[in-house]
Structures are given as structure tokens and as C-alpha cells.
Structure 1
Amino acid sequence: MIAFRYLVPLTVAPALLTGGIYLCLSRVIVTVGAEFSRIKPKMYTYIFVGCDLLSLILQSIGGAIASMANNTNSRDLGVHIMIAGLISQIISMIIFFALWGDFAFRVKKAKNAGNLTGQAPLYENLRADPSFRWFQWSLFAATLLIFIRSVYRVAELWGGFQSHLANDEVTFMIFEGPLIIIAVMMMTAFHPGRIFDGLWVSAGKGYRFTKHGDTGADDKIELIERQWQ
């Protein structure tokens, strides 16, 4: 029973990391250009954090059932629920990758065609900062590592706790702890709070600066909500 109790936080913890990644990508999209995204930036938070919440609930319920089970049938039921939660997380991450890749492709295409216009002036310095580019790569790498780990966890639990993979220490030491540690280190090295600095809140709300009036020193600059095209 003690082993099962350790299994629950080990299984559900990465879902909390992906929730943070979803929040970061929505702000990256606002910074780079929301017009290149298939869905509204805020929808990344609503949709994928919601999927993460569902995954967390299923994994927690499954883990609780497995940890308190006093017979094989109850234990297997808990494991199956945990697997369902992990699979839902994997599916949501695949969709997330697809939307992210489509966004990156459309930005690259517009850049090559010289059509990168309409980007919010508020984030001009942020876009020009090399750290912002490294932040995006670190975000992608961390997401990929968490995805690989989640696939491993499904394979591990699929055969039950008595399977060879579930009891293989070498694969556990490769695909469990190290992948998450590296992902956390990358997200810490390029922490969004440091990269975005004072623009984190405005990017989360989809704000940009717009100039009115003439082009002199007295131009009025006001904060407005970005309209969805």
C-alpha cells in the first residue's frame, strides 16, 4: 500500500507542469502574433488546462482506488482509471503539439514572405531578446520530455504492477525521474517570470499598445484589449 501511495504523486505531478506550459504558450502567441493561431490565445488555457484537470482527477481517483484496494480486482480497476487519465493527457498534448506546430509554421511562412505585420509594439523588445527565443525552445523541449515520460508511464502500467517493465529499475531511472528533472531545470533556467518581466500580466490578457494622434512626442499611448481577427 505504501508503494501505491508513492505512485500517485509520481504519476500526477507532471500534469501540473504541463498546466504551466499551457499558460506560457498562450502568452507566447500574444507576443508573437495571435493572428497566426487557429484559436484564441486564451482558449489554450481554457481547453488544455481543463484537459489537464480531467487527467489529474482520473489519475488521482485511480491512484486512490489502487492504494486502498484489498483485492486484485479493485487494484486493477484503479490502475485502469490511472491509465485512462494518462491517455487523456497524452491525447491533449498531441493536439497541443499540433496547434503549436501549426502556429510556428504559419509564423515562419509569414516571416519568409515578409508579411509579419501587425505585431503588438508592446512586445517588440521582448521579441528581439535572444532569451525569448531560447525560452520557446526550452518550453518545447520540456513539453516533449513530459510527453515521453507520460507515454512510458502508460506502457509501464498497461501490463500491471507485476509486469517486467513496471519492475525494471533501469528503464524507470531513465524515463521517470531524469526526464522530469531536466524539464524542470529548463523551465527554471528560462523562467517565464524572468523572461516576460513586467509583461506577463498584459500578455495573459492579450493587451497591446496602440498609438493615436500625430507622430510627435506627445502621442497618446493607451492600453487596449486585443481584438480577435
Structure 2
Amino acid sequence: MATPSSSLPGNTTIPQHPPSDAPFNPYGYVPTEWICALFVALFSLSTLIHFGQAIRSRLWFLLPTVCLGGIAEIIGWAARLWSSKNPTALNPYLMQIVTTIIAPTPLIAANFVILGELIRRLGPKYSRLSPMWYSILFVSADIIALVVQAVGGAQAATAARNRTDAEPGGRIMLGGIAFQLGCISIYMALAAEFVMRYLWDRPARNVDVSKHTTHALTQKLKLLLIGLTFSSIVIFIRSIYRTIELTDGWNGRIIKTQVYFNVLDGGMVTLAFYCMNFFHPGWLLGHGPWRQTKHNEYDDEEVPEKQTPSGH
């Protein structure tokens, strides 16, 4: 009785009765050495800068989020660099499967926390969710997406090692990335609504104004909004790509085309990491801990209270 064939990422389809020791390339291509080395260097530099920025600004939440995500990206691209030397080796392939799919997730969690703090300063009344619940709900959803993607990646990696069908693990990964894409979409919609309500002075809910001070949109806060917007857009593009990639299948044209991965995954995530380096919350929102930051402590910048159109 013939053994069913199994599909793996790339061009490779395991033939019937494959020799147990026959080498195969699970990518379907050979990762380009200089590109892999370039991404290792870029993520290493950004992560090192983020580590220094987190220590200097005392924003400790950046260590298990942005810095952890950067380390995962370094491991993933180092594994792909290894594969460029030996594309049939399974260990580096398995490493990059898991790390590159989950690495941006901690960075996304940091964006959720930063936006929550921005809402607290500009005015919680303009947001449908309080800053605390904004961080709790979206970070929790991000953790769920991380766990699902990790489980799916591990299952797919095990299937690749055993040369069996990797599609079940791929479907789990697809569920995790699709869930994350949905969360990012809701996050971006709520953030856009918050900004518009703030600019138009149209509160979304009643808030005890005695506990909050609404501030003007200073130059630094404008820069932070620009940085968050750009970072969210490139991560959104990356999530769309990974969703389409996994939907296309583990033997599809998208997953076996290296340039798509380099540009739409590696390139987009690199832009997101460096965007936070340049638009760093420690510079734009002040050093931590934020809960103890006075309303007028934006480094040396005086922050006036926001004036409504009627002057009240």
C-alpha cells in the first residue's frame, strides 16, 4: 500500500516511500546569506539600543516586550543564516519557524501599553476603554495569540522533523496570526477614534474629571502618535502577509518565495523596531515609572491643559 505524500514549506513534496536518510530542503529555496546576515545585524543593533534605552528611561516593561522580541528575531534570522550554509539541516529550520512567527508579538504588546499611557495623559474621556483596561485586554489578547502561534509552530516543526504532514500545525499558527490580526485591527480602529474624538473634543464616555487632567497635543505627543501609527501599520502589513501565507498552504507559492518573506516579514518588523528606537516613549513620554510622572513632566517641556473650543 502506497504511503501518502506529505507537503512541507517550499517546493518540496515528500515522495511516496522516501528514503529515510534522503536529504531535502524544507524551505524550497536556499536563504540568501548576505540578507540573513544583514537582518541579524539590524536586529542586534536595534535590540542593543532598546536595552540601553529601557535601562536609561527606567521603562522596565520594554525588557520583556521589545527587547525579548528583538532577541527572538535575532535567533530566527541567525537560524536562517545557518540554513544558508546548510539548507537541508532541520534544526535551524525548526528554530526559525517558531521564532519568526512569534517575535513581533511582544513588540505589539508594548504598543498597546504605550497607547494606554498616551490615552491617560490626553484624556481618558475620549477613549471607549480606560487606559488600564486598554492595556489589560489587548495585552491579554496578545499573549493568547503568542501561545497559539507558539503551539502551532512547535507542532509544525515537529511534523517537519518527522517528515509528516505539517498542515495541522500550520492551521493552528494561522488561527493565532489571524486572531492577532483581528486584535490589531480593533486596536487601530479604537486608537483612530480616540484621536479624532480628542481633536474634535467629543468625549466617548463620562469620566470623573477631578481624577484626570486633559493636556494639549504637544509636539512630543504628536511625534509619539506618528511613531505609533507607522509602527502599527507596518506590523499590520506583516500580519496580513503571514495570514495570506499560511492560508495559501505550506506548499503554496507565497511561502516558497523568499523575497516575500524578506520584505513583508523581515523588512516590516525591522521598520517597527527602529521606529520605536527613534520615537522612543522614554523621550516622548518621559522616564518611568509613568504612574508617578507629574502632568507637566515631559522632560523640560511645559504641558498646558487642553482648552475646549468654548474656552472652558
Residue 64 (structure 1) aligns with: 154
Give the structure-1-normalised TM-score. Answer: 0.79
Cα distance in 2 between the residues matched to 1:147 and 1:23: 17
Cα distance in 2 between the residues matched to 1:199 and 1:107: 25
1:172 aligns with 2:261: yes
SS of 1:96's partner is helix
SS of 1:161's partner is coil
Cα distance in 2 between the residues matched to 1:198 and 1:13: 26
Q: CA deviation at 1:203?
A: 7.3
Cα distance in 2 between the residues matched to 1:198 and 1:61: 36
Query: Greater share of helix residues, 1 or 2?
Result: 1
Residue 176 (structure 2) aligns with: 85
Q: Where does the alignment leave 5 or more consecutive residues of structure 1 unmatched?
A: 112-117, 210-229
Give the structure-2-normalised TM-score. Answer: 0.59
For the pair shown, the structure with the greater C-alpha radius of gyration is 2
The one-letter code matched in structure 2 to 1:72 is T
Cα distance in 1 between the residues matched to 2:195 and 2:290: 23
Contact map agreement 1:22 1:48 (CA 8 A) in 2: yes
Cα distance in 1 between the residues matched to 2:287 and 2:139: 23
Which of 151, 155, 172 is equivalent to 2:244?
Answer: 155
Cα distance in 2 between the residues matched to 1:63 and 1:172: 16
Residue 144 (structure 2) aligns with: 54
Cα distance in 2 between the residues matched to 1:144 and 1:51: 19
SS of 1:72's partner is coil
Q: Deviations over 1:128-151 (max 9, x none)?
A: 3x1221111111110110011011
Runs of 4+ more than 6 Å apart: none
The CA RMSD over aligned residues, in Å, is 2.1
Contact map agreement 2:151 2:172 (CA 8 A) in 1: yes
Contact map agreement 1:193 1:200 (CA 8 A) in 2: no
SS of 1:25's partner is helix
Contact map agreement 2:167 2:250 (CA 8 A) in 1: no
Which of 123, 137, 148 is equivalent to 1:33?
Answer: 123
Could you tell me the percent identity over the aligned residues? 27
SS of 1:55's partner is helix
Q: CA deviation at 1:83?
A: 0.4
Which of 213, 234, 240 is equivalent to 1:120?
Answer: 213
Residue 223 (structure 1) aligns with: none
Residue 270 (structure 2) aligns with: 181
Contact map agreement 1:5 1:63 (CA 8 A) in 2: no
Residue 280 (structure 2) aligns with: 191
SS of 2:249's partner is coil
Q: CA deviation at 1:97?
A: 1.2
Give the total of aligned pairs: 196
Residue 85 (structure 2) aligns with: none
SS of 2:255's partner is helix
Tell which deviates more after alignment, 46-55 or 189-198: 189-198
Q: CA deviation at 1:93?
A: 0.8
SS of 1:28's partner is helix
The one-letter code matched in structure 2 to 1:50 is S
Contact map agreement 1:79 1:157 (CA 8 A) in 2: yes
Residue 142 (structure 1) aligns with: 231
Q: CA deviation at 1:178?
A: 1.0
Cα distance in 2 between the residues matched to 1:161 and 1:8: 15
